[in-house]
């Protein structure tokens, strides 16, 4: 069956046959139009003579008058009528004639049925099937449909006309656009594929569910598809620009209908080189170590993405350090994306609607980070009915509740996770462990309110908390806190804006009260508030995106405070940092010809570092330190002491070489003003965030990338090859053995380094059918070198050396086999070169102190990494209407039991310095998790 | 910082029993070359100054000195006086305490000729050092309990110093602990003294304060895991003045050496000392030539600390009645309690030699400074 939602902002649904699910209609009188359309023949309208003087009358008054005089009823949306007044029409005396004349050029159409209903439509005309066939034959030769019977049947029922049929012979290109929503939850479907196979044209819906295609006039069949949704085909006669809104139906994931392709040749259409979409449903099937499906772990399966080690926080994209990734949740940056130091990701997978990772070709609307943007779009919640999901795994338990407060108007989603590890620890015999604590929890809440068709508001909040303590000693706590308010306003259906106000906070505390004289609390906090206005305007062959953003940062680098009266700790506070980061951007996606399109954007950013601040100036040519201080500058509150900024160019060209392949070229410049200072191999929760200041310059990166994409094997397999070269300037590295926490003069210990990264990413992907696989191989290098000429600021004699996350060979295989409607099997395999490491090469003693002498930085490598995981998902029942829909996931992590080296350490053991290697998951780890939807 | 990793790992192991593991690992390191290590110290004390020259050791080899012999070692001061050091022990070159003594404010450089290589330092000024104002200790509760019998106490030793002349901004300390211990048995050697030297880096940067002042610097923490506090304990703290360069050297060594290798540790790095090979600059020279003024202070601690366990509970292995066999006596077993005057005669014996003879751990010669 087909469900097509017509009209941009109307709610009536055209349906066929048995399904009578008519969604709420808030405008005048309009009921059951679908039935009129299907069962009644058109052109039965009688001619009513308009005998009153309608000149100057508003259209609305005219309608009221007509309804009072004639046995007719009008169906329309009031805002369409605004500003339309009638003038004197010569020789037009009948109602339909007047309507014809009046509506011509207004984008409105009228349609009358036998029973006297007059339906107004905007941007497209309704034509019943019988009439249409006649019109179609006289106009355009019959279409050849290529799809399977199932979709043909659905598509064949109704042919939709877009635009005024009178314009059919006009030359030029017109635009089809509209919104795609989930029939079940009414949430917009982002990332859905819209295709016109005839033209090899396509688009992907944006986060509003909006899509737009520029095509020549003609008759086409349009395909709408999305992973986990039933594919839909609609036949359209395109006479002019118009809107076509589609409702799609989701399917239960492991079922047969899920064998639907998503990307296909739209990959060829996309502009961004290096955009990766993560399939939320597939990632839930992937094997996990702890039974928790994890978005960050899925990111690591993408080509060009690495991490420094198993269970480490953060990821590295194309040679960028972990802090060069912008992770956005509700449009706000997430400063710490992991729980338990990286063993779990901090974002609950239950609330994720879709995840996009931009490795290159970063759109101009994103800024502030060099390497990548991971944009997590959260779900809005079910708009129609209450629903939920709960689950349990070895470490955590989680739930989601969602539903409408007022149907289709106000709806919510609440998701939470918590651990029961404290309870497990409390049961242990070992006293040290029993006195230990480790827990985390997170909560996501979103409340959305559709005020009307043109105004939508949502309020979202995220809170995550981690705490642990070993044997009653030092307690570590950290938390993320995000609150975001968004107002989306639709000026017209093709010009819309989103206004976001958000606040993101991250802070950690380290405290110890075991020895009361030494009781202390150390804290670090970062708080940013952003206001962003983002405009999207789809017009003809152009897609404009422009906007402005202002972010205010507040960083408290460190506060070291006594706890309790008996503590002798001397309070110490590192001076706080404040800054403003205003930006403006403008981007145009311009389709020159069917085979060539260009995406050109510019982002203007600046960074204003504001006082109060005390700045030390140093003699040039000397190592920064107490002995080279030349002068001290004091800046008062709100005075700007340093300004950085400049344009960031984002440019992509997409050349379609034929219907099955395309070439994309891309250049990107990015700047980053906020840095995470980490002198450790992996990012850790006590790394500190630091804003650019007098001494610390913003990091910049230039990336050029080229990609070739090709569809193979009847378009079922997608192959791609991307190469990139990236130059990074002004990264911060550290002198050996530097402490960063509570470091008052961090500039003394920083070393300016530059980096270069290059690589090739090859991928072969099959995303449909019972057997799906993904083969990704990446060869990449990332090298850095110190740029200073001062002896103390030189690493490895100023030569290029591999960065901590340089892992040249990386092979990732994922395999899914949906062998029945209830069972699906997944496996992932990962091989990569071991990460670079600095080993001690010799020992010596000074007095009784044993000292290790290390090799050049990152001269050696850990052994190579290799791991195979498998999982099996079993769905309890296939009845979609069942109250609870349980499913089990059995997975085995590291099936091969390989002892991958997590870290190597050295210690002085009985008068001998020995090396030890540590593997975290040194044998197969089976887990079971249970979930049910209700 | 390291606690995390340990903790997380313990936590994971607990969830997934024995999934993780630690194994000895010898990294495949190509650098087998031995590097020269120079450890020199010139002080203002009326003592012998020593320069020790040895070769570095590869990882995984026992820490034994490999002396470099027959080197020509000289110390040159900024007035041009050259002092030649004599090799008093293999690889240890000493000044004559009667003819050479460091002077505060003077600069010294080291020059070594060995196997055709020349190793040199810049001239290093000897900074003055103030005396240690006070060296004091506090009882620290290790385990708190409502039951007095369960209370355990330890001892923390602190140091205060300041330089009113504002000359010495960087400090380094070393200490030497000596404690008396008794065996709880009537055996010939049951009263001994042990001396241990500090093996940690103790430094402090006082330059960031208006006046160089060090308050309550934690020298050491004595737990109840050893018998240091059982009878009488003494600590001698030596305070060295450092220049900024030497301070930085120790700070880096400290950050890098204190447990390295996990993901959350500081990225290690080769740290250069102040000695270089002048006729082959690419040659790495390890170690440091320190020029420091020294002051020292000693305190004794004799107090009752709660909860110090009996460290000899395991000693008695057998009680023999009647006749004492001679076979293996004082070789594989020892008498720790002689009950031969009782009826029937008995002897408590042990197979642990340290229970019968305290000289296995220390010396039975009372140190000269001991009260």
Give per-residue pLDDT as tens, A917-932: 877 777 787 878 887 7
Per the structure, the count of domains in chain A is: 2
pLDDT of residue A897: 83
CB contact under 8 Å between B3 and A474, yes or no, is yes
* Residue B325 and residue B318 in contact, taking contact as beta carbons nearer than 8 Å: no
**Average pLDDT rounded to a whole number, residues B296-307:** 92
Residue B236 or A791, more confident? B236
Backbone Cα Rg of chain A: 31
pLDDT band at A585 (very low <50, low <70, confident <90, very high): very high
Least confident of A405-419, A735-749, A751-765: A735-749
pLDDT of residue B142: 77
Res. A907: pLDDT tops 60: yes
pLDDT band at A512 (very low <50, low <70, confident <90, very high): confident
Measure the CA–CA gap between A556 and A576, rounded to whole angstroms: 5
Report the residue from B12, B56, B207 with minimal CB separation from A853.
B56
Res. B89: pLDDT tops 60: yes
Whole-number Cα distances in Å, B71 to A908, B36, B95, B111: 30, 12, 14, 10
Residue A898 domain-assigned?
yes
CB contact under 8 Å between A903 and B261, yes or no, is yes
CB contact under 8 Å between A919 and B21, yes or no, is yes
Measure the CA–CA gap between B60 and A843, rounded to whole angstroms: 9
Neighbours of B141 (CB within 10 A): 15
pLDDT of residue A726: 95
Residue A296 domain-assigned?
no
Res. B91: pLDDT tops 70: yes
Residue A491 domain-assigned?
yes
Res. A468: pLDDT tops 60: yes
CB contact under 8 Å between A920 and B12, yes or no, is yes
**Is the previous residue joined to A737 through a cis bond, with omega within 30 degrees of 0?**
no
Neighbours of A904 (CB within 10 A): 20
Interface probe with B: pick from A520, A628, A840, most Cβ of B within 10 Å: A840
* Residue B208 and residue B282 in contact, taking contact as beta carbons nearer than 8 Å: no
Measure the CA–CA gap between B260 and B258, rounded to whole angstroms: 6
Q: Which helix (H) or strand (E) holds B5?
A: helix B2-15
- From its phi and psi, is residue A715 left (phi > 0), alpha (psi between -120 and 50) or beta? left
3 state DSSP class of A548: strand
**Average pLDDT rounded to a whole number, residues A350-372:** 88
Measure the CA–CA gap between A204 and A211, rounded to whole angstroms: 6
Residues of A in contact with B12 (CB under 8 A): 343, 920
> Any idea which fold B33-126 has?
Immunoglobulin-like (2.60.40)
CB contact under 8 Å between A736 and B263, yes or no, is no
Q: What is the mean pLDDT of chain B?
A: 85
Measure the CA–CA gap between A835 and A855, rounded to whole angstroms: 15
Q: Which helix (H) or strand (E) holds A80?
A: helix A78-81
* Residue A243 and residue A123 in contact, taking contact as beta carbons nearer than 8 Å: yes
The first and second tokens of residue A406, run together, are 């007022």
**Average pLDDT rounded to a whole number, residues A711-730:** 88
pLDDT in tens, B127-169: 999 999 999 999 888 777 778 778 888 899 999 998 888 888 8
Share of chain B above pLDDT 90, in %: 40
pLDDT of residue A139: 31
> Are A618 and A751 members of one domain?
yes
pLDDT of residue A41: 37
A841/chain B closest Cα distance in angstroms: 6
**Average pLDDT rounded to a whole number, residues A328-344:** 85
pLDDT of residue B21: 66
Residue A827 or A280, more confident? A827
Whole-number Cα distances in Å, B6 to A312, A341, A863, B9, B264: 14, 12, 22, 5, 11
3 state DSSP class of A704: strand
Residues of A in contact with B263 (CB under 8 A): 308-309, 312, 680-682, 684, 902-903
pLDDT of residue A100: 78
Domain boundary among A226, A250, A274: A250
Cβ-based neighbours of A105, under 8 Å, separated by 6 or more: none
pLDDT of residue B83: 92
Res. A687: pLDDT tops 70: yes
Neighbours of A134 (CB within 10 A): 10
ipTM for the complex? Answer: 0.84
pLDDT in tens, A205-221: 877 788 888 788 888 88
pLDDT of residue A364: 93
* Residue A41 and residue A87 in contact, taking contact as beta carbons nearer than 8 Å: no
Interface probe with A: pick from B270, B273, B274, B286, most Cβ of A within 10 Å: B270
Interface probe with B: pick from A420, A745, A853, A918, most Cβ of B within 10 Å: A853
Measure the CA–CA gap between A338 and A345, rounded to whole angstroms: 4
Neighbours of A631 (CB within 10 A): 9
Residue A331 domain-assigned?
no
Q: Which of residues 516-535 of A touch B (CB under 8 A)?
A: 517
pLDDT band at B258 (very low <50, low <70, confident <90, very high): low
pLDDT band at A115 (very low <50, low <70, confident <90, very high): low
* Residue A71 and residue A115 in contact, taking contact as beta carbons nearer than 8 Å: no
Q: Which of residues 339-368 of A touch B (CB under 8 A)?
A: 340-341, 343
pLDDT of residue B106: 93
CB contact under 8 Å between A744 and B208, yes or no, is yes
CATH number, domain of A138, equals 2.60.40.1120
b/e burial code for range A45-70 (CB count within 10 A of at least 16 → b): beebebeeebeebebbebbeebeeee
Residue with tokens 């877009």: A162
The first and second tokens of residue A632, run together, are 């001290």
**Average pLDDT rounded to a whole number, residues B168-181:** 93
Residue A310 domain-assigned?
no
pLDDT of residue A24: 32
Residue A796 domain-assigned?
yes
Report the residue from B24, B207, B254 with minimal CB separation from A916.
B24
A433 contacts chain B (CB < 8 A): yes
- DSSP code string of A18-69: T---PPP--STT---HHHHHHHS-S--PPPPB--S--TT-BHHHHHHHHHHH
Q: Which helix (H) or strand (E) holds A102?
A: helix A95-103
Measure the CA–CA gap between B45 and B51, rounded to whole angstroms: 15
pLDDT of residue A470: 67
CATH number, domain of A797, equals 2.40.170.20
Measure the CA–CA gap between A242 and A220, rounded to whole angstroms: 14
Measure the CA–CA gap between A396 and A388, rounded to whole angstroms: 17
Measure the CA–CA gap between A167 and B164, rounded to whole angstroms: 95
b/e burial code for range B18-41 (CB count within 10 A of at least 16 → b): ebbeeeebebebebeeebbbbbbb
B174/chain A closest Cα distance in angstroms: 9
A679 contacts chain B (CB < 8 A): yes
Report the residue from A436, A737, A901 with minimal CB separation from B7.
A436
pLDDT in tens, A839-862: 888 888 888 888 888 888 888 898
* Shortest CA distance from B260: residue in chain A: A905
- What dihedral angle (degrees, nearest 10) is formed by the CA atoms of A879, A881, A886, A888? 40
b/e burial code for range A863-889 (CB count within 10 A of at least 16 → b): bebebbbbbbbebeeeeeeeeebbbeb
CB contact under 8 Å between B15 and A424, yes or no, is yes
CB contact under 8 Å between A394 and B34, yes or no, is no
Farthest-apart Cα atoms in chain B, separation: 81
Domain boundary among A235, A250, A265: A250
Q: Specify the pairing of strand A173-182 against strand A242-243.
A: parallel
**Average pLDDT rounded to a whole number, residues B343-351:** 88
Least confident of A592-596, A831-835, B241-245: A592-596
Residue A608 or B312, more confident? A608
Q: What residues pair up with A438 in beta bridges, in sequence order?
A: A468
**Average pLDDT rounded to a whole number, residues A731-736:** 82
Q: Which of residues 272-331 of A touch B (CB under 8 A)?
A: 290, 308-309, 311-312
Q: What residues pair up with B242 in beta bridges, in sequence order?
A: B170
pLDDT of residue A22: 32
Nearest to A462 by CA among A572, A348, A350, A375: A348
pLDDT of residue A587: 94
pTM score over 0.95: no
Res. A28: pLDDT tops 60: no
- DSSP code string of B224-235: TTSSTTTSEEEE
**Is the previous residue joined to A612 through a cis bond, with omega within 30 degrees of 0?**
yes
Domain that holds residue A415: 375-933
Residue A139 phi, psi dihedral angles, 5° rounding = -110, -55
Measure the CA–CA gap between A825 and A823, rounded to whole angstroms: 7
Domain boundary among A230, A250, A270: A250
pLDDT in tens, B10-66: 455 445 444 456 778 777 776 667 889 999 999 998 888 999 999 988 877 777 888
A478 contacts chain B (CB < 8 A): no
Interface probe with B: pick from A307, A687, A849, most Cβ of B within 10 Å: A849
Measure the CA–CA gap between A224 and B118, rounded to whole angstroms: 79
Residue A95 phi, psi dihedral angles, 5° rounding = -55, -50
CB contact under 8 Å between B200 and A849, yes or no, is yes
Least confident of A191-200, A426-435, B86-95, B283-292: A426-435
Residue A246 or A617, more confident? A617
Measure the CA–CA gap between A20 and A25, rounded to whole angstroms: 14
Res. A356: pLDDT tops 80: yes
Share of chain A above pLDDT 70, in %: 82
Nearest to B275 by CA among B293, B291, B294, B257: B291
Residues of B in contact with A919 (CB under 8 A): 20-21, 23
pLDDT of residue A134: 33
pLDDT of residue A427: 63
Res. A340: pLDDT tops 70: yes
pLDDT in tens, A748-783: 888 899 999 999 999 998 877 788 888 999 999 999
Residue A294 domain-assigned?
no
pLDDT of residue B194: 93
Share of chain B above pLDDT 70, in %: 90
pLDDT of residue A223: 83
Residue with tokens 């759109």: A363
Measure the CA–CA gap between A332 and A486, rounded to whole angstroms: 11
The first and second tokens of residue A348, run together, are 């609950």
Whole-number Cα distances in Å, A904 to A449, A476, A844, B61, B306: 53, 24, 20, 17, 40
pLDDT band at A506 (very low <50, low <70, confident <90, very high): very high
Neighbours of A39 (CB within 10 A): 9
pLDDT of residue A74: 82
Q: Where are the domains of chain B?
A: 33-126, 132-243, 318-351
Res. A797: pLDDT tops 50: yes
Measure the CA–CA gap between A403 and A413, rounded to whole angstroms: 7
Interface probe with A: pick from B24, B25, B53, B166, most Cβ of A within 10 Å: B25
pLDDT of residue B32: 66
Backbone Cα Rg of chain B: 26
Res. A742: pLDDT tops 90: no
Residue B323 or A692, more confident? A692
Residue A516 domain-assigned?
yes
Nearest to A705 by CA among A726, A729, A688, A689: A726
């Amino acid at each position: 069956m087909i469900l097509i939602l017509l009209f941009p902002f109307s709610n009536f649904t055209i349906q066929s046959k048995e399904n009578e699910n008519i969604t709420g209609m808030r405008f005048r009188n309009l009921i059951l139009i679908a039935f009129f359309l299907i069962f009644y023949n058109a052109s039965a309208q009688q001619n009513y003579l308009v005998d009153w003087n309608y000149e100057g009358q508003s259209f609305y008054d005219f309608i009221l008058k007509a309804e009072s005089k004639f046995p007719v009823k009008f169906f329309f949306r009031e805002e369409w009528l605004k500003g339309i007044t009638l003038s004197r029409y010569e020789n037009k005396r009948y109602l339909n004639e007047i309507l014809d004349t009046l509506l011509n050029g207004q984008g409105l159409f009228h349609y009358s049925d036998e029973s006297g209903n007059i339906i107004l439509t905007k941007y497209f005309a309704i034509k019943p099937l019988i009439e249409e066939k006649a019109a179609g034959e006289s106009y355009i030769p019959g279409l050849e449909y290529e799809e399977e019977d199932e979709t043909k049947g659905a598509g064949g029922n109704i042919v939709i006309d877009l635009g005024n049929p009178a314009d059919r012979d006009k030359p030029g290109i017109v635009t089809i656009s509209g919104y795609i929503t989930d029939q079940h939850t009414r949430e917009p479907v982002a990332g859905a594929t819209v295709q016109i196979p005839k033209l090899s044209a396509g688009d992907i819906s944006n986060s509003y569910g909006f899509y737009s295609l520029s095509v020549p006039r003609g008759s086409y069949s349009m395909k709408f598809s999305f992973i986990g949704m039933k594919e839909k085909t609609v036949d359209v006669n395109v006479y002019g620009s118009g809107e076509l809104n589609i409702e799609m139906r989701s399917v239960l994931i492991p079922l047969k209908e899920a064998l639907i392709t998503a990307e296909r040749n739209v990959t060829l259409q996309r502009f961004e080189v290096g955009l990766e979409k993560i399939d939320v449903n597939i990632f839930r099937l992937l094997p996990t170590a702890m039974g928790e499906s994890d978005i960050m772990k899925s990111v690591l399966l993408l080509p060009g993405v690495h991490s420094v080690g198993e269970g480490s926080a953060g990821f590295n994209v194309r040679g960028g350090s972990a802090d060069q990734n912008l992770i956005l949740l509700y449009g706000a940056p997430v400063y710490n994306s992991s729980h338990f130091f990286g063993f779990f990701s901090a974002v609950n997978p239950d609330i994720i609607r879709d995840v996009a990772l931009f490795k290159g070709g970063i759109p101009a609307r994103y800024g502030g980070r060099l390497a990548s943007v991971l944009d997590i779009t959260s779900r809005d919640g079910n708009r129609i009915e209450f629903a939920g999901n709960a689950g349990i795994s070895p470490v955590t338990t989680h739930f989601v509740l969602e539903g409408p407060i007022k149907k289709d108007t106000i709806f919510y989603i609440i998701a939470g996770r918590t651990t029961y590890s404290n309870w497990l620890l409390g049961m242990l015999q070992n006293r040290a462990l029993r006195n230990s604590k480790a827990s985390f929890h997170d909560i996501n809440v979103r409340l959305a309110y559709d005020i009307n068709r043109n105004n939508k508001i949502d309020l979202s909040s995220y809170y995550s908390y981690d705490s642990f303590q070993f044997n009653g000693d030092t307690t570590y706590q950290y938390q993320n806190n995000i609150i975001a308010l968004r107002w989306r306003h639709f000026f017209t259906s093709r010009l819309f804006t989103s206004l976001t106000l958000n606040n993101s906070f991250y802070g950690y505390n380290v405290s110890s009260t075991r020895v009361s004289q030494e009781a202390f609390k150390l804290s670090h906090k970062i708080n940013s508030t952003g206001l962003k206005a983002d405009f999207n305007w789809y017009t003809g062959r152009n897609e404009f995106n422009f906007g402005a953003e202002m972010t205010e940062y507040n960083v408290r680098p460190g506060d070291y405070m006594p706890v309790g009266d008996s503590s002798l700790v001397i309070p110490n506070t590192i001076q706080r940092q404040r800054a403003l980061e205003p930006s403006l951007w403008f981007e145009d996606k311009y389709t020159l010809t069917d085979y060539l399109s260009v995406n050109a954007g510019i982002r203007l950013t600046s960074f204003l570092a504001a006082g109060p601040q005390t700045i030390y100036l140093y003699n040039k040519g000397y190592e920064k330190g107490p002995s080279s201080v030349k002068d001290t500058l004091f800046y008062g509150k709100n005075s700007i002491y340093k300004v950085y900024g400049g344009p960031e160019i984002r440019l992509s060209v997409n050349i379609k070489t034929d219907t099955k392949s395309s070439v994309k070229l891309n250049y990107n410049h990015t700047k980053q003003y906020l840095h995470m200072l980490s002198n450790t191999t992996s990012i850790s929760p006590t790394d500190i965030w630091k804003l650019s200041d007098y001494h610390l310059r913003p990091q910049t990166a230039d990336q050029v990338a080229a990609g070739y994409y090709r569809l193979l094997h009847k378009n079922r397999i997608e192959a791609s090859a991307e190469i990139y070269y990236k130059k990074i300037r002004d990264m911060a590295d550290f002198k050996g053995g530097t402490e960063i926490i509570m470091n008052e003069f961090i500039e003394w210990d920083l070393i300016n380094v530059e980096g270069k990264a290059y690589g090739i990413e090859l991928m072969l992907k099959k995303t449909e059918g019972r057997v799906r696989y993904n083969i990704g191989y990446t060869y990449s290098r990332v090298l850095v070198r110190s740029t200073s000429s001062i002896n103390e600021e030189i690493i490895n004699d100023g030569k290029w050396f591999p960065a901590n996350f340089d892992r040249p060979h990386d092979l990732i295989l994922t395999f899914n086999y949906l062998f029945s409607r209830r069972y699906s099997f997944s496996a992932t395999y990962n091989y990569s070169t071991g990460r670079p490491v600095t080993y001690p090469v010799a020992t010596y003693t000074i007095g009784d102190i044993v000292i290790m002498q290390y090799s050049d930085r990152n001269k050696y490598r850990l052994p190579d990494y290799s791991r195979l995981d498998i999982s099996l998902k079993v769905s309890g029942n296939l009845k979609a209407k069942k109250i609870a829909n349980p499913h089990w996931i059995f997975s085995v992590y590291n099936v091969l039991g390989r002892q991958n080296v997590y870290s190597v350490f050295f210690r002085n053991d009985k008068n001998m310095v020995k090396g030890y290697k540590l593997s975290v998951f040194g044998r197969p780890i089976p887990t079971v998790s249970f979930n049910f939807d209700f | 910082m390291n606690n995390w990793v340990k903790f997380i790992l313990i936590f994971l192991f607990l969830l997934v029993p024995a999934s993780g593991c630690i194994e000895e690992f010898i990294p495949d390191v190509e650098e087998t070359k031995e590097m020269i290590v120079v450890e020199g110290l010139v002080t203002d004390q009326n003592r012998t100054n020593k320069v020790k020259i040895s070769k570095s050791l590869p990882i995984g080899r026992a820490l034994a000195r490999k002396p470099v012999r027959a080197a020509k070692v000289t110390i040159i001061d900024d007035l041009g006086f050259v002092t030649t050091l004599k090799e008093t022990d293999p690889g240890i070159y000493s000044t004559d305490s009667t003819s050479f003594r460091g002077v505060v404010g003077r600069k010294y450089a080291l020059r070594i000729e060995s196997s055709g290589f020349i190793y040199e330092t810049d001239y290093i000024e000897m900074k003055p050092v103030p005396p240690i104002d006070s060296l004091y200790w506090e009882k620290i509760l290790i385990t708190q309990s409502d039951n007095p019998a369960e209370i355990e106490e330890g001892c923390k030793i602190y140091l205060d110093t300041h330089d009113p002349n504002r000359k010495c901004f960087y400090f380094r300390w070393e200490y030497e602990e000596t404690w008396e211990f008794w065996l709880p048995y009537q055996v010939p050697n049951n009263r001994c003294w042990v001396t241990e030297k500090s093996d940690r880096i103790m430094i402090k940067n006082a330059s960031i304060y208006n006046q160089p002042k060090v308050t309550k610097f934690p020298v050491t923490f004595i737990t109840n895991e050893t018998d240091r506090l059982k009878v009488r304990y003494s600590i001698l703290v030596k305070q060295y003045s450092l220049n900024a360069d030497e301070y930085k050297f120790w700070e880096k060594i400290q950050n890098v050496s204190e447990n390295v290798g996990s993901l959350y540790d500081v990225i290690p790095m080769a740290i250069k000392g102040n000695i270089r090979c002048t006729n082959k600059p690419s040659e790495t020279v390890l170690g440091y030539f320190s020029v420091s003024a020294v002051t020292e202070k000693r305190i004794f601690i004799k107090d009752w600390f709660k909860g110090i366990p009996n460290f000899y509970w395991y000693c008695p292995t057998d009680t023999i009645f009647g006749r004492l066999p001679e076979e293996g006596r004082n070789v594989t077993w020892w008498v720790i309690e002689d009950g031969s005057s009782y009826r029937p005669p008995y002897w408590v014996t042990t197979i642990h030699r340290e229970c019968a003879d305290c000289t296995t751990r220390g010396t039975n010669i009372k140190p000269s400074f001991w009260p």
